[in-house]
Chain A
Amino acid sequence: NAGVTQTPKFQVLKTGQSMTLQCAQDMNHEYMSWYRQDPGMGLRLIHYSVGAGITDQGEVPNGYNVSRSTTEDFPLRLLSAAPSQTSVYFCASSRTGSEKLFFGSGTQLSVL
């Protein structure tokens, strides 16, 4: 019963490096999304997807890319990391029409 799985749990990058945060869910959820969590600011939506092949921008999309080639996977790409992207990142999914989001356990990213 894996639910939403995020990897890695921790990552340290240098400014300008690129990386991909992985997210996979095994619940056949149509909807998937990425949030970042910063102290005093709650969670802010980066990108979301309502199904394979469909993605859209959230509140803070700049500096991040996403794609959704399968229902299960929704990777988040940082093309050129910046210190402002130091944060905890959460992936979440839900069934279409459901108001309950299922969250992964998060990825703590530090950009030096």
Chain B
Amino acid sequence: GNSVTQMEGPVTLSEEAFLTINCTYTATGYPSLFWYVQYPGEGLQLLLKATKADDKGSNKGFEATYRKETTSFHLEKGSVQVSDSAVYFCALRGGGSSNTGKLIFGQGTTLQVKP
């Protein structure tokens, strides 16, 4: 079945450091891929998405490229800020599914950015 694997956290960085959070997936067909972010005490919010191979999703300085050859969707940011401290979830929706909410989530990666 479909699954998502993220790098284990927590990830601790200094402000302005480069961020990479790894995400790989297993899926049949052509899934859509997502990154969601959860700030302390809040629900998840969609950060970015990509719906087909080689697409690059971007938002708020974060980027992720849909790599079908390596089944990966790694999240990157060139210069993190303290306000980026949160839990980041990689997720996929199986290709061909008409049910937009049946997302499969990774286990989440906690990012802590220190001043």
Contact = CB atoms under 8 A, between A and B. Distances in A.
Nearest to B41: A105
A33 B91 CA distance: 15
A4 interface: yes
A92 interface: yes
B20 interface: no
B101 A42 contact: no
Nearest to A43: B105
A101 B102 contact: no
A105 B89 contact: no
Interface residues of B, number: 24
B43 A103 contact: yes
Chain A binding surface SS class: strand
Interface residues of A, number: 29
Contacts of B46: 100-101
A102 B113 CA distance: 26
B100 A103 contact: no
Interface in A15-66: 31-33, 35, 40-45, 48, 50, 58
B32 interface: yes
